[in-house]
Amino acid sequence: MTIRDIIVRYSKELEEISSTPRLDVETLLQKVLNVDRLYILLNLDKSLSKEEENLFNKFIEERLNNRPIAYIVGNREFMGLDFYVQEGVLIPRGDTEILVEELLSIINEDEELNICDLCSGSGAIGISLAMNRKNIKVDEIDNYDIPEKVTKSNIVKHGLENRVKFIKSNLLEEVIKVGKKYDIIVSNPPYIKACEIEGLMDDVKLYEPHVALDGGEDGLIFYRRIIEESRLTLNENGILAFEIGHDQGLDVRILMEEAGFSNVKLVKDLAGLDRVLLGYFKY
């Protein structure tokens, strides 16, 4: 089969499960052939070898079973950077770039700050901040083995071993033990209500880690804990910044203000939905 044949046939087959069927096929072809997208577009009449076709067939079968593209190819772009991902970490999403961009608008180019990326997953938030601000130091914190492996791999991938470290901890427990303080704590915690997990799309529900999705009965369990623990780990006027669910803006704002955070700011995403909250801590 030629590249054109494969794109036409499998784009059609993926229409029922994917909003980007052609892009999915092209991405799998890029992985199989180890080429960029431009090569695919300029070589539509190229035929795959038997070995390449077998590998593509394996990948497309996984995709037809709703396995996310990022897990199949092992990477996802975020903030213009390439991140290694695997099952066991949440796939970085474009919506989360709004959280990173908001913080970059606050952090000066030459500022020296200590930052914590809490519930780090792949490390995408903290690493993106460090890649864009050359004088900050970042602790990536997560409590599970696969995020530790993936985050450490991405730290090395982006050459940040001197400024970005991984700490294995149940939220901020290990940091509190040693009395470390941060200028900014940023987190995209699990925030989906437990009762809503079953209603998620199959590629999310079946493959992405539920521990990175499930925010308890009301979706706020991790916000409560992080807000409380951040009061022990933020410097005066330190910033706490969250990604939030589309209907959580008011609830999380109240939790932050009741805990002593001021100038709490809500940022909406491109669809006009609540996406980011950040506030300043006063002793």
Question: How many CA atoms lie less than 13 Å away from 214 in the CB half-sphere?
Answer: 11
What pTM was estimated for this model as a whole?
Answer: 0.92
Report the sign of the C-alpha dihedral through residues 204, 206, 210, 212, in that order: negative
Q: Predicted confidence band at 205 (pLDDT cuts at 50, 70, 90)?
A: low
**How many C-beta neighbours within 10 Å does residue 212 have?**
20
Q: How high does pLDDT run on average in the chain?
A: 93
For 152-165, the pLDDT digits (tens) are 999 999 999 999 99
Examine the pLDDT at 192 and tell me if it is beyond 90: no
Tokens of 248: 């959580």
**For residue 234, what pLDDT is reported?**
97
* Structure confidence at residue 34 (pLDDT): 95
Give the contacts of 200 (CB within 8 A, at least 6 positions apart): 192, 213
pLDDT digits (tens, 9 = 90+) for 16-68: 999 999 999 999 999 999 999 999 999 999 999 999 999 999 999 999 999 99
